[in-house]
Amino acid sequence: MEVISIIVLFASFFTLLMLKVPVAYSIGISTTISLLLNIDKLPGLTTVAQRMTTGIDSFALLAIPFFVLAGEIMKRGGIANRLINFAKSLVASLPGGLAYVNVLASMLFGAISGSAIAATSAIGSIMTDRMEEEGYPREFSASVNITSSTTGLLIPPSNILIVYALASGGTASVAALFIAGYLPGILLGVAIMSYIAFVAITRKFAKGSRVPLALIWTYFRKAFFSLLLLVIVVGGIVAGIFTATEASAIAVLYAAVLALVYGDITTKDFPDILLTSAKTTAVVMFLICTSMAMSWLFSFEGIPELISGFLLEQFSNKIVIFLVINLVLLIIGTFMDMTPAVLIFTPIFLPVVVALGMHPVHFGIVLVLNLCIGLCTPPVGTILFVGSGIANVSVSQVVKPLLPFLLIMVIVLLLITYIPEISMYLPRLFDL
């Protein structure tokens, strides 16, 4: 009966996805159908409702709505322009300088806001037109914006790393994950810029004039308080001054005060900001609810043990197993949103990699980067569609220039997978 239940679970889930039923509903419906094969209707429905409720009964998850709100304030508060001007002052004089500016600004804004979509829309809406004026094709600009915005999901504070900490059952702390994301996120950004350098030289992209040191200092001063948020949030967590949840509340207060002082928003803007943030939070939390119910069903049916046993029996080499897991996660990322993917597949693959000696924090970074690549690929590809829409080009036009960037991301993924120190050096340095 258990085998039939598992088959029904996956068959109904993928069928609903193909019918374009929203992911959260697909997860909830397939979980309920599968569970009702084993137990009666009333206890089955009660169990699903109970698991959905207890799934979000976590203090750590309070950080998500606060970081969402902080990101929305920053998105509307003119912070993107300050970061772009500062980044431009540093690298605009290089060949292909504006493309570097796009990457650096996306890294900084994505890290500060904790949202790849926010980085894609905020930076892309400004940079695409600027780059076109200097001869960059819009589809190339969109490709740069789409891939570089994912770095903010690795560089803290990152909502998805908080979700992974929950899914890991406490084996990976938020503080350790935050500090572990720095080097992989920076490595990904540098790798993207390396390819841009190659393209800039071969296509002879324009370069700007050298910016005087005094002007760089001016732009830095204007962006300083925006950048300081990263130090306050992550530094406070790592130093043990406050928890990730408390840090998220501090981020909201800091962002609100900063935006008001700069005069980019007024108190009249806050009702709309709160409403938008509440809608985003509701979507995320509902995904978490249904995903936690499915995750519990996986455990109830013994699916993690079955997959772990199968992989360890079929493949004796851990290098091959890591490669297989990466391939599976890359495929999953193409059709499933990040949050449910983390909550559903962490309990499945985490026991396997831990048995092979991979640290849970290391696997968290690998998992998130896999799913970041999925955000840039069809058919789901949230960032792909947002970035294409912002640049006002079709997805089909973006795909060709996007492919080399995706290859770069895969290469970085393999480096992070097989060189643990990229992720684990900083957590070990800070004894996390």
Read off the pLDDT of residues 347-367 as tens digits, 9 standing for 90 and up. 889 988 998 999 999 999 999
Band of the pLDDT at 1, cuts 50, 70, 90?
Answer: very low
Between CA 32 and CA 416 the distance in angstroms is 37
Q: Report whether pLDDT(328) > 80.
A: yes
| pLDDT of res. 370 | 95
26 and 71: one domain? no
* The two structure tokens encoding residue 388: 């294409």
62 and 46: one domain? no
Cβ contact 31:294 at 8 Å: yes
Between CA 36 and CA 22 the distance in angstroms is 21
233 and 259: one domain? yes
In a domain? residue 142: yes
- 3-class DSSP state for residue 430? coil
| pLDDT of res. 412 | 97
Read off the pLDDT of residues 397-420 as tens digits, 9 standing for 90 and up. 998 999 999 999 999 999 999 999
Band of the pLDDT at 208, cuts 50, 70, 90?
Answer: low
Between CA 172 and CA 98 the distance in angstroms is 38
Between CA 255 and CA 112 the distance in angstroms is 10
Provide CB contacts within 8 A for 319, sequence distance 6+: 418
Residue 388 Ramachandran class (φ > 0 left, ψ -120 to 50 alpha, else beta): alpha
180 and 191: one domain? yes
68 and 23: one domain? no
Q: Report whether pLDDT(344) > 80.
A: yes
Domain limit, last residue, from 301, 329, 345: 301
Band of the pLDDT at 326, cuts 50, 70, 90?
Answer: very high
Helix axes 63-76, 244-262, angle to 10 degrees: 20
In a domain? residue 279: no
In a domain? residue 277: no
154 and 234: one domain? yes
More confident residue, 266 or 84: 266
In one-letter notation, the amino acid at residue 398 is V
| pLDDT of res. 2 | 63
Read off the pLDDT of residues 97-121 as tens digits, 9 standing for 90 and up. 888 888 988 888 877 777 788 788 8
In a domain? residue 245: yes
293 and 355: one domain? no
186 and 297: one domain? no
Other C-beta atoms closer than 10 Å to the C-beta of 329 total 22
Structural domain boundaries, residue 45 = 1-55+284-301
Domain limit, last residue, from 301, 327, 357: 301
In a domain? residue 119: yes
Read off the pLDDT of residues 35-83 as tens digits, 9 standing for 90 and up. 888 888 888 889 888 888 887 777 777 888 888 888 888 877 777 778 8
Number of domains in the chain: 2
In a domain? residue 274: no
Cβ contact 88:216 at 8 Å: no
* The two structure tokens encoding residue 148: 């570089």
Q: Report whether pLDDT(144) > 90.
A: yes
In a domain? residue 271: no
48 and 62: one domain? no
389 and 322: one domain? yes
* The two structure tokens encoding residue 242: 């406050």
229 and 150: one domain? yes
Q: If 0-12 CB within 10 Å is exposed, 13-18 middle and 19+ buried, where does residue 217 land?
A: exposed
Summarize the chain as % helix, strand, coil (round to 5). 80, 0, 20
Cβ contact 395:384 at 8 Å: yes
Cβ contact 307:352 at 8 Å: yes
Between CA 68 and CA 237 the distance in angstroms is 18
Between CA 94 and CA 205 the distance in angstroms is 10
256 and 364: one domain? yes
Between CA 273 and CA 280 the distance in angstroms is 11
Query: What does pTM read for this prediction?
Result: 0.85
Q: To 10 degrees, the CA torsion angle through 143, 149, 150, 151?
A: 120
Q: To 10 degrees, the CA torsion angle through 137, 188, 114, 28?
A: 90
In the numeric block, the tokens 């994505």 are attached to 110
In a domain? residue 27: yes
Between CA 219 and CA 227 the distance in angstroms is 12
Segment 311-339 mean pLDDT? 86
